[in-house]
Chain A
């Protein structure tokens, strides 16, 4: 569809932040990377595809925000000191912050596809994609959905042990 081709058309580079291991600092690094790139004058967005444990909204103090729709899809939440970093996370879709997203793979895959194609990102220099631990549904779906776009590459995060 036209929307699918335009929502990511203005995004110059897409960066995936991966690990395999949980709790090593993927979300922390994603957030700091976004803030640092913004500081350097870049237009930045963050896509949080950790559906079970979305950490980014709290890290950027927008855990109580909600998302709105526009003609081309969902409007991301704007965060950061100058409210110029675009963020999308399932955290914004929960009725209550402690609600567990107890979904099996197919439902997770459907939402990730929507996050990739239906968010009106606008023009961005960098879209940082924060992922959950593992090598499963979220990862396969994200890479598949982003296949036709400007995937810069992956940053892998670990701890020493």
Chain B
């Protein structure tokens, strides 16, 4: 009966993309927010961004929605809208104060994630993007389990170039394979820094073991793209603005846009081919 409830609620969702990592602080939430903005630039598309990082929800701040609350209606919880075609849900909206710690064990976190899927009135959605916390635990198992009521197009896995990150990301790739979640591809963030003054490029996080490129080759997954470090990214996130809109000329914006396009193409293709990645 529960599965039927979830199925009914998610019936009007055309594409679902999970943003995962394994490693913390590599740019999952940043990427999720920009993916949502990028897809919503097409006003004919309805985009939903679901933040299931219960302990450290970054999406409200990044989307400029801090302080917003969730409203209930007859048809369920209403997402908080950034644009008419871009709705957001996060535990951040349920806290009385932004510094309140959510100190919950797994089962309680799972319960809220289920509520997010069952009780939020997303309406008709072209793209549901799910931002996740780092790791391979309750939140990840639960989201895959609950979303089996609908079709998950795949996962985008975010990393940074250094081995300490790749180490955790390989585990995440194995997690995806274990739960039969298709992998759309890997995004390498913080991939080099170009000085705005002298234009010299530095590797702030040197890819001592070949970076995401080598890892993708070894594990036979797609490298969707590399995004360089741009201090404007962090600033835009802190201010709740879309980096793509604030810095349209940045090499990072170009990278993000290319990656977003590849993800869109992958999702659209799914309709014509019933191919499984694994």
Chains A and B bind each other: yes
Whether B171 pairs with A100 at a CB distance below 8 angstroms is yes
Known contacts A55-B167, A104-B138, A140 near B25 by CB under 8 Å: no
Q: Chain B: how many interface residues by the 8 Å CB criterion?
A: 41
**In the bound complex, how far is the Cα of B102 from the Cα of A134, in angstroms?**
9
Chain B residue at minimum C-beta to C-beta distance from A103 = B137
Whether B105 pairs with A137 at a CB distance below 8 angstroms is yes
Q: Does A99 contact B (CB under 8 A)?
A: yes
Contact with A along B133-147 (1 / 0, CB 8 A): 111111011000000
Q: Does B51 contact A (CB under 8 A)?
A: no
Whether B136 pairs with A101 at a CB distance below 8 angstroms is yes
Say how far A62's CB is from chain B's closest CB, in angstroms.
13
In chain A, positions 39-78 with a C-beta closer than 8 Å to chain B are 51-53, 55, 58-59
Residues of A within 8 A of B103 (CB): 135-136, 139-140
Q: Does B66 contact A (CB under 8 A)?
A: no
**In the bound complex, how far is the Cα of B134 from the Cα of A97, in angstroms?**
18
Q: Does A82 contact B (CB under 8 A)?
A: no
Dominant SS among interface residues on chain A? loop
Chain A, interface size: which category? 20 to 34
Q: Which of A55, A58, A108 contacts B137 (CB 8 A)?
A: A108
Say how far B127's CB is from chain A's closest CB, in angstroms.
25
Q: Which of B24, B136, B171 contacts A133 (CB 8 A)?
A: B24
Contact with B along A15-48 (1 / 0, CB 8 A): 0000011111001000000000000000000000
Q: List 28 A-B contacts (CB under 8 A).
A: A21-B25, A22-B56, A24-B24, A27-B164, A52-B135, A53-B22, A53-B135, A100-B171, A102-B140, A102-B178, A102-B179, A104-B106, A105-B105, A109-B105, A132-B24, A133-B25, A133-B55, A133-B56, A133-B133, A134-B56, A135-B55, A135-B102, A135-B103, A136-B55, A136-B104, A136-B109, A137-B137, A159-B25
Chain A interface (Cβ < 8 Å from any Cβ of B): 20-24, 27, 51-53, 55, 58-59, 97-106, 108-109, 132-137, 139-140, 159, 161
Please list the 5 inter-chain residue pairs (A to B) with the smallest Cβ-Cβ separation, ordered nearest first. Answer: A22-B24, A23-B25, A105-B106, A134-B55, A52-B135
